[in-house]
Amino acid sequence: MSKQNVDSEIIKRAEQWLQPEFDKETREGVKKLIENSSTELVDAFYKDLEFGTGGLRGIMGPGTNRMNRYTLGKATQGLANYLLKEFKNLPEIRVAIACDSRNNSMPFALTTAEILTANGIWVYLFEALRPTPQLSFAIRTFKCQSGIVITASHNPKEYNGYKVYWNDGAQIVPPHDKNIIAEVNKISSVKDIKFEGDHNLIKVIGSEIDEIYLNTLASLSLSPELNLKHRNIKIVYTPIHGTGVDLVPRVLHKYGFATVVTIPEQNVVDGNFPTVKSPNPEEAAALQLALDKAQDIDADIVMGTDPDADRVGIGIKDNMGKFILLNGNQAAALLIYYVLTKWKEKKMLRGSEYIVKTIVTSDLLADIAKDFNVECREVLTGFKYIAEIIRELEGRKTFIAGGEESYGYLVGTFVRDKDAILACALFPEIVAWAKEQGKTLYQLLIEIYTKYGLYRERLISITKKGKEGADAIKVMMQTFRSTPPKSLAGSDVVVIHDYAQRQTHNLKESVIYPIKLPKSDVLQFITEDGTRISIRPSGTEPKIKFYFGVKSMINFPAEYEIANNKLDKKIDRIIEDLGIK
C-alpha cells in the first residue's frame, strides 16, 4: 500500500501521536508506521478501540485501534469521570483491579491504578496475576463500585484487553457501557488523562482474598462425601501459562481430590504462551500436552483453562479408552444435569429456580431444565447478559447455574462471571458422582442424549483481520440478511431471527413479531426439521462465527455412534449449502 492510497484522515490521526505528550517509544513506533504507509498503519488508526462483548480488546502497539498506555488511559479516565458522577454522594469510591499473565498486563494494571487514584478513587490492586472470576468476587467482597481486569482472555499473544465491571461484580451492560463510552469520547487530548497517581489510595490485596474465595467455592460442592470416597481419581490439569496455575490445584484439594497432575512446561507463567499457538481451550492443540499425559497415566479427566481462567476445556475417555474433547455445549449439559439432579435429591427445588443460557448455546440445556421444572432463561451472547439476569431477578427467583457454548460456566451467585476455577472443581465432582453409579462421563453424556435427544453442534470461525477484514465481515452479514437461504440440508428455512432488526420472521405463516432482547448483530435460521444455524461477528476477535445445531432421537445408547455420524454429515451438507469453509 502506497502513501497516496492511505486515507489522509488516517495519516492525520497518526501524526497527532507524534506530539510530545506521547512517550518516545510510542512516537518512534508511529513514525515507522507512517514511513512504511502500510496496511498496518490503516489498521492501527482507522478507528478507536470500542467496548464489545468482552470490553476493550485489541492487538498491542501504538495507535487508536491498538491496546497501549494511551487507549487504556483514555478508557480509564472516561471510567473515572463516570464513576465520580454516578457515585458522587459516596464518601469514597472503590475500584478493584486484576490482571492475567499476558505481556504488559501488569504495567497496564499499574497505569490503570495510577489514573484512578489521580482522580481520587481508591484502588484495591491484586499483588500479582489473578483469575478474572476472582476479580468479580473481590468487587463484591470489598464492596467496590467498579472493577477492571487486564486480559484478552483466550486470544493469541499479540492481544491484550480491558474488561470493566460494575458494583455487582458483573461486566458492564447498558446503560453504563454507553455512558462510559460517552465520557471517553469527551476526552479530546492525552493531556486530559491524569497519569500521576496517589499511591496512598492503593490497597494491595493478595493471599487473604484467595483463601476467602477458595473457601466460598468449596461451599458449592454438592457431593463432598463422594469426592472423598473417590479422592484418587486421576485429574490432569493445565493452566496454559495462565492464572489458574495456583488456584485450580488448591481448589481441587479443598474439594477432596488427591491426585492432580499438571504439565510442568505449561505451569510457567509466560505471556508468549511458548507451548501453544493460541492459549484457547476451545482448540484441541492447546490441550494436546495434557491429553498426552492423560493417555499415559490413564487419567479420568483432563482440564485446561485460558490465561485469565474464566473458560475451561474438558477432555474425557470414550468407551474405547481414548481421550476426546467435549465441546462447550456438552460440558454445559453435563454440569446442568448434575447440578439439577443434586438439587432435586436434596429437595432444594421449590419452583422459583432458573438457569440461563445464551441464544447460540444448545437447546439441550432448556430440555434438561424443563424436565426438572426449572425455568430456562435465554440471553444474548456474552456472560455479562447472564449476570444481568441474575441481578434483575435477585430476591425474587433463585439462580442455579448458567452456561455458554464458548466454554464458560457458573454455579451460584458469589461470582458474576464465568468461573473456570469453580468449574475445574465441579467437573471432577461429576466424575466421582458418575463413578459411584458405575459410569464414566462419556457414558453419562450418552445417557443424557438418550433421554433428551441427540444434539450435535459445530462452530466454524472465519478470521478476517484489519479494516479490510471488518468490512468483509459486514458484507457477509449483509448478504445473509438480504438473501437468506431457502433451505438447508433439504429442509426448508421456516423462521429467521434477526437480532439486529429485533424481529422474527415466521416464513411459514408470513408473520413478523418482535424480539424482546436488546439489539445485536446476530442472524438465526431455523429449518422445518428443527435445525438451527446462528451467524454473528465476534465481539472480541476479528472473526465471523457460524454455529450449527442439529438433532435426532436415539432410543438406546448403542445407537449413539451411527446417529452422531449422520448428524455430522448433515452439518457438512449445511456448510456446503451456505457456501462457507
Give the helix, strand, coil percentages of the chain, each rounded to 5: 40, 20, 35
Q: Number of H helices and number of E strands within the chain?
A: 18, 23
The β-bridge partners of 313 are 304
> Which residue from 68, 58, 210, 217 is spatially nearest to 131, judged by alpha carbons?
210
Q: Which grid coordinates belong to 479?
A: 448478504
Pairing of strands 491-498, 159-166: unpaired
Distance CA 192, CA 521 (A): 34
Is position 223 annotated as part of the catalytic site? no
DSSP state of 549: E
Cβ atoms of 266 and 124 within 8 Å: the answer is: no
Distance CA 127, CA 138 (A): 13
Please name the amino acid found at residue 156.
P
DSSP states along 266-330: GSS--TT-TT-SS--TTSGGGGHHHHHHHHHHT-SEEEEE-TTSS-EEEEEE-TTS-EEEPPHHH
- What 3 state SS string does 19-61 have? CCCCCHHHHHHHHHHHHHCCHHHHHHHCCCCCCECCEEEEEEC
Q: 18-21 contacts: CB < 8 A, separation 24 or more? A: 19/190, 21/189, 21/190, 21/191
> Which residue from 286, 361, 373, 367 is spatially nearest to 329, judged by alpha carbons?
361
Distance CA 188, CA 50 (A): 16
The catalytically annotated residue of 146, 153, 362, 406 is 153
Q: Which helix (H) or strand (E) holds 576?
A: helix 560-578
Q: Which grid coordinates belong to 103?
A: 505481556
Q: Which CA distances in Å does 450 have to 311, 413, 471?
A: 27, 31, 44
Question: In 51-185, which residue ranges form alpha helices assigned H by DSSP?
Answer: 69-86, 105-118, 132-141, 176-185
Q: Which CA distances in Å does 199 have to 99, 122, 202, 203?
A: 18, 10, 5, 9
Q: Which grid coordinates belong to 293?
A: 499425559
Angle in degrees, CA 510, 514, 517, rounded to 5: 140
Q: Which CA distances in Å does 579 have to 479, 494, 572, 574?
A: 12, 20, 11, 9
Q: Could you give the 3-state DSSP secondary structure of residue 513?
A: strand
Please name the amino acid found at residue 519.
K
Active-site positions read: 153
